[in-house]
Amino acid sequence: MATRPFFVPQKEIDLIDSFNEELIDNILSQYVDIYKVSVENTEENLYGESSTKYFDKGFRVNCLISFEEPTIEQNDFGPDMNANLELYFHRTTLKDENFYPEMGDIVDWNDIYWEINAVTEPQLIAGHQAFKHMIKAVANRARLSGLQIEERPR
């Protein structure tokens, strides 16, 4: 098995990486704050479950953001707004920062909290598994009451 794509030299891979890093970090400059669940501070019961989650300090990371138009659903308690968010991260940048988004992480974007539901790496350079290029995270809007997050007054 080859260590790199046969028809794509390492120079080309490095060029693609540098273009995408510059686009995401310097030109678009979209960012989110991601809060990881703090495993050390979360208390568990006998079954390894927790009634509350504690989050570590937020990590600011640049990414591409795709916001889907919200949908309104009517239920017994009144209208409920649902929305989804797709986040596209440059894998090399996250690797350099030793950070990886995971399911259950909380994202703060546009003064709304989102919970990551899925994380995939769908984009491969030249279709080669050794050259994963992008990390895609799908998040849905989270309720503050479910997160038990208290905001500090500004």
What is the tens place of the pLDDT at every residue in 24-35? Answer: 888 888 999 998
Averaged pLDDT score across all residues of the chain: 80
What is the tens place of the pLDDT at every residue in 87-112? Answer: 999 888 888 888 899 998 999 998 88
- pTM > 0.85: no
The band of 51, judged by pLDDT with boundaries at 50, 70 and 90, is low
Give me the residue label for tokens 């350079």.
125
The band of 153, judged by pLDDT with boundaries at 50, 70 and 90, is very low
Using CB atoms within 10 A of its CB, is residue 88 exposed (0-12), middle (13-18) or buried (19+)?
A: middle
Quote the pLDDT of residue 15. Answer: 85
Beta strand spans in 30-148 (E): 31-35, 59-62, 64-67, 71-75, 78-82, 84-90, 106-109, 112-120, 134-141
Quote the pLDDT of residue 3. Answer: 65
What is the tens place of the pLDDT at every residue in 5-50? Answer: 667 778 888 888 888 888 888 888 899 999 887 767 666 666 666 6
Quote the pLDDT of residue 58. Answer: 81
